[in-house]
Structure 1
Amino acid sequence: MDIIVVSHSQGRTWRLRLEARRVWGWLPLAAVVIGVLGLTFVAGMNLQSDRGLLPKRIAGVWGAEFSQQRDELAQVKAKAEEDARALARRIAQLQAHVIRLDAAGTRMTQIANIDPSEFSFDRPPAVGGPETEAFGTPAVLEDVIGSLDRLQKTLGDRERQMRVLEDLLLASRLEREVKPSGWPIDSGYITSGYGSRTDPFTGLRTTHPGIDFAAAEGSQVHAVASGIVTEAATANGYGQLIEINHGNGYRTRYGHNSKLLVKIGDRVLKGQPIALIGSTGRSTGPHVHFELVMNGNVVNPGQYLDATR
């Protein structure tokens, strides 16, 4: 039997003569080739994964590694989220400290009468300088948390110190408010001092328990310190009298008024008008008789009041 092979591209033909004895000689070789190809195909099919891409053993190893990496990534993500929440909580605490410090600082600047244009907690501190080369390594989260801890402790210490300072300033201000100082009138002059004098009605030597300030009739009489009005009525010799209790043992009296502007129980502030100058009671002309009582004893007002203003 002959097999003729024709090549159109080359324009040639080949003739293969198949003799029976040659065919039987090739059959073992063909069987071996076919067997090898079959075994290779079967082995490849057995080694393929479910998707037909990777060997099952390798796919299993890689799948386990991927699962472990997913778990580790989830743990890292959870820790990062917890760290972020902790950092946010710490920042919120620091913001609360700063707000309280700002409030306390603003209060103290008001108490101390500091000019807001010179010092204000509403504006950031004025800082600056030329740009220089940075040095050091970037901070990690542990460094940031540690810095926040130290800052929070410092802010807490400063807040306590500022509270104590505020209490001291308030006490000082309160002491200034309730301690008598200044004159009880805006303009005028002293007509009679404290101590021994000749009585204008009898001509005899007597003790004058206060200081007389002469001023225009109807002008205002001011409280020389803050306090509570304990008397506002006509009294023997004083005419229309105002008495104010300032605490700490201080009381002041204002006599001979033509009109009272406050009543018993009223709270008055330092410098507040409390009466109008008059000449009621035992008086020779418009003036205010001013007395200072300390722990129940009448004392010389001159040692407490600024006579020169």
Structure 2
Amino acid sequence: MNIIVLNGRGHQSRLLRIPRYLPVALLSLLLVVPVLLGAGTYYAMYHWGEPVLDQRMTARWQDELEAQRGTLSEINQRAEEELRAFTLRLADMQARVLRLDALGERLVDVAGIHSDEFDFSTPAAVGGPELPDERSVAYTAPTFAEALTDLAVTLDRREQQLSILERLMDSKRLAERTELSGRPITMGWLSSRFGQRTDPFSGRLTTHRGVDFAAKEGSDVVATGGGVVTYAGQRWGYGNLIEINHGNGFATRYAHIKDIHVTNGDIVRAGDVIATVGSTGRSTGPHVHYEVLKNGQQVNPAPYIARARR
């Protein structure tokens, strides 16, 4: 092989002769040398150096994998146990809701309250505007925790309803116990009505601020409603007097009585015997002067007496 070399000016040239085997030798050298270097490096690392993955490391990795499998199995078992516990708790709470609903409906019937105010058979009405950015959100099923939370909220709501219902029933029972009705005597007759009359002592026209019930001396005088005794003693014009506060601005007075069976601060119920019929004070004979006061003013007792006949 010949190579012609020209100088920069192109006036002179030189001929180089290259042996024919030289290119083949160079190519062989470029291929053989890397192969020999790679083989030598592998041989040196395999025989003289420490292996990258020896048996001890492989065994250690296998032990770690087994430990991770055991941990994962324990986690799965614990998750299944918790799921069963959640399921039992959910079933128990649902049973409680059913019992509360049944009890609430029964109490509403017993209390005579309109069912629209305490409807335990339908879910509570809820609502609210939909936000624009929520319309594109896809529906996702509630988790167990969310289901338990919703059920706990339902239980709280039912307990609040029952608490309100209990207070209403207590108020109704209290009102029934303190409501004025009937006569202050067990036997006797109405001898003087409320309003204008001729005074039995002066003969002048006066206002009678109560009603009189004539009865046998020593017979029972009863409270016409439940309340607290606020006065039990003598008072001018009334003779022996008992005054009972019934709440809500109502009070009753029982005058001209003989024997007083209660003291200040005593709690009485409707129908309790509080005294005996007498003729103390400004009186012409055995009777009970009965007054009903509303916010401190005497009112006609006739409507309250008539309640006992309804």
Task: Report TM bin, short chain.
Answer: 0.5 to 0.7
Bigger mean CA deviation after superposition, 271-280 or 178-187: 178-187
Provide Cα deviations, 1:221-249, integer angstroms capped at 9, x if missing partner.
Answer: 12122222111112222221101122222
Letter in 1 for 2:301: P
**Is residue 237 from structure 1 mapped to residue 237 from structure 2 by the alignment?**
yes
Deviation at 1:303, TM superposition (A): 3.1
Secondary structure of residue in 2 paired with 1:256: strand
Deviation at 1:264, TM superposition (A): 1.1
Deviation at 1:194, TM superposition (A): 0.2
Deviation at 1:177, TM superposition (A): 2.8
Q: CA RMSD in A?
A: 4.0
In structure 2, runs of 5+ residues without a counterpart are: 1-58, 113-141
Deviation at 1:287, TM superposition (A): 1.7
**Rounded Cα–Cα distance in structure 1 between residues aligned with 2:221 and 2:95:** 47
Q: 1:63 to 1:151 in 2, by over 3 A?
A: same
| 2:270 corresponds to | 270
Q: Is the 8 A contact 2:181 2:308 kept in 1?
A: no
Deviation at 1:204, TM superposition (A): 2.6
Aligned length: 223
Q: Is the 8 A contact 1:188 1:215 kept in 2?
A: yes
**Rounded Cα–Cα distance in structure 1 between residues aligned with 2:98 and 2:274:** 40
Provide Cα deviations, 1:87-119, integer angstroms capped at 9, x if missing partner.
Answer: 556667x399669959x8699589849xxxxxx
Secondary structure of residue in 1 paired with 2:153: helix
Matches within 5 A, 1:1-309: 69-87=69-87, 94=93, 101=100, 112=111, 148-306=148-306, 309=309
Provide Cα deviations, 1:109-154, integer angstroms capped at 9, x if missing partner.
Answer: 89849xxxxxxxxxxxxxxxxxxxxxxxxxxxx8876665544333
**Rounded Cα–Cα distance in structure 2 between residues aligned with 1:283 and 1:207:** 16
**Rounded Cα–Cα distance in structure 2 between residues aligned with 1:303 and 1:217:** 26
Q: 1:249 to 1:157 in 2, by over 3 A?
A: same
Q: 1:60 to 1:204 in 2, by over 3 A?
A: closer
- Taking structure 1 as the reference length, what is the TM-score of the superposition? 0.59
Provide Cα deviations, 1:176-202, integer angstroms capped at 9, x if missing partner.
Answer: 333322222223321111001122233
Q: 1:293 to 1:284 in 2, by over 3 A?
A: same
Q: 1:308 to 1:160 in 2, by over 3 A?
A: closer
In structure 1, runs of 5+ residues without a counterpart are: 1-58, 114-141
Q: Is the 8 A contact 1:225 1:269 kept in 2?
A: yes
**Rounded Cα–Cα distance in structure 1 between residues aligned with 2:109 and 2:215:** 34
**Rounded Cα–Cα distance in structure 2 between residues aligned with 1:257 and 1:96:** 59
Secondary structure of residue in 1 paired with 2:181: coil
Secondary structure of residue in 2 paired with 1:167: helix
**Rounded Cα–Cα distance in structure 1 between residues aligned with 2:78 and 2:279:** 86
Q: Is the 8 A contact 2:234 2:240 kept in 1?
A: yes
- Taking structure 2 as the reference length, what is the TM-score of the superposition? 0.59
Q: Is the 8 A contact 1:97 1:159 kept in 2?
A: no
**Rounded Cα–Cα distance in structure 2 between residues aligned with 1:76 and 1:257:** 84
Secondary structure of residue in 1 paired with 2:254: strand
Secondary structure of residue in 2 paired with 1:73: helix
| 1:54 corresponds to | none
**Rounded Cα–Cα distance in structure 1 between residues aligned with 2:94 and 2:219:** 53
Q: Is the 8 A contact 1:221 1:273 kept in 2?
A: yes
Q: Is the 8 A contact 1:111 1:173 kept in 2?
A: no
**Rounded Cα–Cα distance in structure 2 between residues aligned with 1:295 and 1:224:** 17
Deviation at 1:64, TM superposition (A): 8.6
Letter in 2 for 1:267: I
**Rounded Cα–Cα distance in structure 2 between residues aligned with 1:243 and 1:99:** 49
Deviation at 1:82, TM superposition (A): 2.8
